[in-house]
Amino acid sequence: MSIIVEVGQPVIMVDGNHYGRMTTQRGTVVKAARVWITVQPDDNAHKWAAQRYRLDTQTDGSPYSYAPRFYTLEQWAERERRDQAQTFLRKQGISIEYSSPWRGHEHELAELIRPHARS
């Protein structure tokens, strides 16, 4: 499923590597076509140049899981919310297994547990 991105829309550019490190940069969509978009970083002092991303995978087209990618601001906010919930659950000693029905619903579980959580 492709997302809809328009010229002028702010996005978050993410550059990962196979060591698990990730750098982020805010950018603006400067060109949007049917398959590819071009994003210009907002801070030109950074090492980033304009990047091209596929709309269907939100990556640069590379087959690697750590390929550069982009997120809309809404997607990035949801990712941060999910990460915070997972961190909270880990601090409570709760591990969500891959096959668990709670997988992908960590935020809802964290909200159920939060009133009863240990500090």
Question: Would the pLDDT of 46 be above 90?
Answer: no
Q: What is the C-alpha separation between 43 and 55, in angstroms, rounded? A: 23
The 10s digit of each residue's pLDDT in 94-111 is 988 889 998 888 889 999
Side chain identity at 51, as an amino acid letter?
Answer: Q
**Mean pLDDT in residue range 47-74:** 88
Share of the chain above pLDDT 70, in %: 92
Where are the extended beta strands (E) located within the chain?
10-16, 22-32, 36-41, 51-54, 69-72
Q: What is the C-alpha separation between 5 and 118, in angstroms, rounded? A: 42
In the three-class reduction of DSSP (H, G, I as helix; E, B as strand; rest coil), residue 49 is classed as coil
Task: Please choose, from the candidates 79, 11, 23, 73, the residue with its C-alpha nearest in 3D space to the C-alpha of residue 48.
Answer: 23
Q: What is the C-alpha separation between 105 and 102, in angstroms, rounded? A: 5
Order of strands across the sheet that contains 36-41: 51-54, 36-41, 22-32, 10-16, 69-72
The 10s digit of each residue's pLDDT in 3-13 is 889 999 999 99
